[in-house]
Amino acid sequence: MSSQTRTLDVVPLRSFVAVAECGGFHRAAAALHVSQPTVSDHVKRLESACGTALLHRAGRASRLTPAGETLLVEARRMLSIHDDVLARLAAPTARELSVGSTEHAADQLLPRLSSALGGSVRYRLDRGTGLREALDRGDLDLALLFTPPANERSATAGLLEVRWYAAPGWEPPAGPVPLVGLDAPCALRDRAVSTLTGAGSAVTVACEAAYLAGVLAAARAGLGVALLATMGHTPEGLVERADLPAAAPLPVAVHSRRGLPPETLASTTSAVAGVLGSARRAA
């Protein structure tokens, strides 16, 4: 018989292993919940495929031949691979969700969001422009942006409260209010400028930084006042300034990449809305 026409089927292999482990055909049949003739037929098929005897029968007991000893090792390995493949194919694939956010939303929003989303989430912090580009490339599944929904791939999640912070003892100068903020374009920086100018105050950008850490450092150094989204948590080394014009909260929308299931966008938007709602109620 050609090796190309011989096969070692899984079912006969499982019966053969059971005979070896149980010590006989009768006990193997009981363990597998099949008839003894069925087990015997399976072993005969294997012996035919291998071209040699695999078992010596001694009454109701059986012992392996040298070929049977060799096959037993390989049969166990084959069955393990077979069962592992089936288990992995049957299990649902837990795909990692990639979510982008600006630094302003990250410090307080993302830890709470991780708990709300559950599963495996990977975050990316970037400026709004970078997040939009990553979405377009498909490098991100979702992004939290301070913009209204743009199309069917985005949805409103809620409002993010923003407040003024400065170094302890800082006082606004007689002239324009010195502002510290991120490099333009920045929705929070725009909101700060429009809030102050809308209240009749002149504004000067005393310090701008590429990252939020730089904004916080400049504010702590007393270089100016910063408008921050802190969800009610005062940053270390700063104090809230309630004497400055109150700024309207920023709209937060969840934007998704092309091809992302709509239910993923909906569930994430709901989770973000829940976190934002809890923060506003706590405030």
Mean pLDDT value across residues 57-62: 73
* pLDDT, averaged across the chain: 85
Average pLDDT over every residue of 90-99: 68
Same-domain status, 46 and 83:
yes
**Tens digit of each residue's pLDDT (9 = 90 or more) over 152-175:** 889 998 888 899 999 999 988 888
Please say if the pLDDT value at position 43 is more than 50. Answer: yes
In a domain, 49, yes or no: yes
Mean pLDDT of 83-109: 73
Strand partners, 99: 123, 142
Only one residue has tokens 């090792």, namely: 73
Looking at the chain, the whole-number percentage of residues with pLDDT higher than 90 is: 36
Q: Which CATH number does the domain housing residue 172 bear? A: 3.40.190.10
Inside any domain, residue 4? no
pLDDT tens digits along 63-88:
889 998 999 999 999 998 988 888 77
Residues 235 and 106 in one domain: no
Q: Give the pLDDT score at 264.
A: 87
Selection from 130, 126, 135, 121 nearest residue 102 by Cα: 126
Do 49 and 114 share a domain, yes or no? no
Q: What is the average per-residue pLDDT within 218-226?
A: 95
Q: 119 in the Ramachandran plot: left (φ > 0), alpha (ψ -120 to 50) or beta?
A: left
Average pLDDT over residues 97-107: 79
Q: Are residues 167 and 147 in the same domain?
A: no
With H, G, I as helix, E, B as strand and everything else as coil, classify residue 158.
strand
pLDDT for 199 beyond 70: yes
Instruction: Domain count for the chain, please give it.
Output: 3
Band (pLDDT 50/70/90 cuts) for residue 93 is low
Residue 94 pLDDT class (50, 70, 90 cuts): low
Is the CB of residue 266 less than 8 Å from the CB of residue 149? no
Q: For residue 1, is it within any domain? A: no
**Residue 136: inside a domain:** yes
What is the pLDDT averaged over residues 117-135?
83
Range of the domain at 233: 163-247
Together in a domain, 62 and 137 = no
267 and 145 within one domain? yes
- Identify whether residues 132 and 175 lie together within a single domain: no
CA distances from 118 to 94, 111, 271 (A): 11, 11, 10
Confidence at 2, pLDDT banded by 50, 70, 90: very low
Contact 119, 218 (CB under 8 A): no
Q: Do 168 and 203 belong together in one domain?
A: yes
Strand partners, 239: 166
Residue 23: per-residue pLDDT: 84
Find where tokens 């912090």 sit. 125
Any domain includes 5: no
Between CA 260 and CA 29 the distance in angstroms is: 50
